[in-house]
Amino acid sequence: MQFKIALCQMLVSPIKENNISHARSLIRGAAEKGSKLVVLPEMWCCPYSMKTLRDHAEDIEAKSSPSISMLSEAAAYHKITIVGGSIPEKSGGKLFNTCCVLGPDGEIKAKHRKLHLFDMDLPGESFRESDTFAYGDGPTIVDTEVGKIGIGICHDIRFPELSILYRLRGAHLICFPGAFNMSTGELLWELMQRSRAVDNQLFVAACSPARDPDVNSDYMIWGHSSLVGPFGEIIATTGHEEDVVIGEIDYSILQTRRENLPLEKQKRGDIYQLIDHSSGK
Ligand SMILES: NC(=O)CC(=O)C(=O)O
C-alpha cells in the first residue's frame, strides 16, 4: 500500500474556535494535495500550558466535543483517516491527554490516553504534566484504511516497550502527536523517532505544533515534525514554523527491510522477552 501522509505543524492560539477552524483549513489543504492520512499535533485546540488546559477540556464520550466533531466532519467529508493529535479530555472527574483516530466514515475508531505523563526536572526548568492529567491505561493500535497504526503521545515515545508491543501486534506505522520543548527537542526528538523506527522496522510519524516565539507561555515548542522510514531515514521534515509536511509511505519497503535484516528472527527470546500486561485493545 502506498499513500500520502500529512503532518499539520500548526500554530496554536489561545482561542479555541480559531484553532478548530485553522486545523480544519490545514486538513482541507492536506486532503486537496492527496493525503489519505492527516496527523495533528499534541494539544492543537489550545496552548500546551498547564495553567489553562483545564479551561479547554472537552467531554468526548458525551459527544459534546467541538474539536472531535470537527475532526469527524473533516474525515467524512474528505474520506480520509485522521490521527487527531491530542486534546484535553474530561471524563469521570479526571483530565486526560487524549488522541482520537477518525475513519473516513467520520467515526472514532480509537481513543488513546497518554500513558506516560511528562514530568521533567532540569536545572532552572521543571514541568509536571502529572499534576494536571491522569494516566491512560492501555496501548492503542488500530486497523485503518491506511494500515495498522500504533498511537503514542509525545513522552510515550521514550518508552521503547510500547513501540515494540505495537510491532508485535503488526503495526506498519506509529504516530506520535508530540510537543517536545526547547530543552529536549534538539537532542532527543529526532533521535527517538529514528530509534523507534529502526528498532521496530516500521514507519514513525511525529507531529508537533509550530513554535510561537512571541507567546507568553511556560512551554516553548521545538517543532520539527517528521516522517521516518524503517531504516531510520528521514522521509520528510520541517523546521519550527507552521507547515504541513507531506510524505509518501510505501509499506512494501517494510518487507524488504525486514528481509534485509531479519531482526524478529534474530531476537534472543530465550534470553529476554517483553511481557504484555495489556488487554489487547
Ligand atoms: N509533551 C511531552 O511529553 C514533552 C516531552 O516529552 C519532551 O521531551 O519535551
Per residue in 142-178, pLDDT (tens digit) is 999 999 999 999 999 999 999 999 999 999 999 999 9
* Stated length of the chain: 281
Looking at beta carbons, which pairs linking 49-54 to residues 24 or more positions away fall under 8 Å?
A: 49/217, 49/218, 49/219, 50/127, 50/128, 50/129, 50/131, 50/132, 50/218, 51/218, 52/14, 53/88, 53/95, 53/132, 54/88, 54/95, 54/132
Q: What angle do CA 234, 237, 242 make, to 5 degrees?
A: 170
pLDDT tens, residue by residue, 52-81: 999 999 999 988 899 999 999 999 999 999
Least confident of 124-128, 150-154, 242-246: 124-128
184 alpha carbon – ligand 1 mean position (Å): 7
Task: Confirm or reject: Cβ of 181 under 6 Å from ligand 1.
Answer: yes
What are the tens digits of pLDDT across the range 214-227?
Answer: 765 668 999 999 99
What pLDDT is attached to residue 123?
Answer: 82
Q: Ligand 1 centre from 232 Cα, in Å?
A: 21
Query: Is the dihedral angle over the CA atoms 271, 277, 279, 281 positive or is it negative?
Result: negative
Which pLDDT score, from 0 to 100, does residue 63 have?
80
- The question of ipTM being above 0.85 is answered as yes
Q: Does residue 117 carry a pLDDT above 60?
A: yes
CB 102 within 8 A of CB 72: yes
Residue 216 has a pLDDT of 57
Q: Which three cell numbers stand for residue 2?
A: 502506498
Residues with catalytic annotation?
42, 114, 154
Residues 6+ apart with CB under 8 A from 277: none
Ligand 1 centroid, distance to 153 Cα (angstroms): 9
Q: Is the pLDDT of residue 193 over 80?
A: yes
- pLDDT value for 213: 80
184 lines ligand 1 (CB under 6 A): yes
CA distances to 70, 103, 217 from 73, rounded to whole Å, are 5, 10, 31
CA of 48 to the centre of ligand 1 (A): 11
Which residue, judged by its Cα, is nearest atom 7 of ligand 1? 180
Q: Is the pLDDT of residue 36 over 80?
A: yes
What does the pLDDT read at residue 281?
Answer: 58
Task: Give me the pLDDT at residue 148, please.
Answer: 98
> In the prediction, which pLDDT does 219 show?
83
pLDDT of residue 64: 83
221 ligand 1 Cβ < 6 A: no
Continuous H helices in the chain: 16-32, 66-78, 160-168, 182-184, 190-200, 252-260, 263-266
Given the DSSP bridges, would you call strands 81-83 and 35-39 parallel, antiparallel or unpaired? parallel
Q: How far apart are CA 110 and CA 126, in angstroms?
A: 32
* Atom of ligand 1 lying closest to residue 181 CA: 9
d(CA 249, CA 187): 26
Q: Is residue 105 scored above 90 in pLDDT? A: yes
pLDDT range class, residue 109, cuts 50, 70, 90? very high
Q: Whose CA is nearest to atom 1 of ligand 1?
A: 179
Cβ–ligand 1 distance for 176 under 6 Å, the answer no
**Is ligand 1 within 6 A of the CB of residue 154?**
yes
| Atom nearest to 180 CA in ligand 1 | 9
Estimate to the nearest angstrom the gap between the alpha carbon of 221 and the chain centroid: 15
Say yes or no to pLDDT of 280 above 60: no
- Using a pLDDT cut of 70, give the percent of the chain over it: 98
Percentage of the chain with pLDDT > 90? 90
- Mean pLDDT across 110-122: 95
**CB 116, CB 151: distance < 8 Å:** no
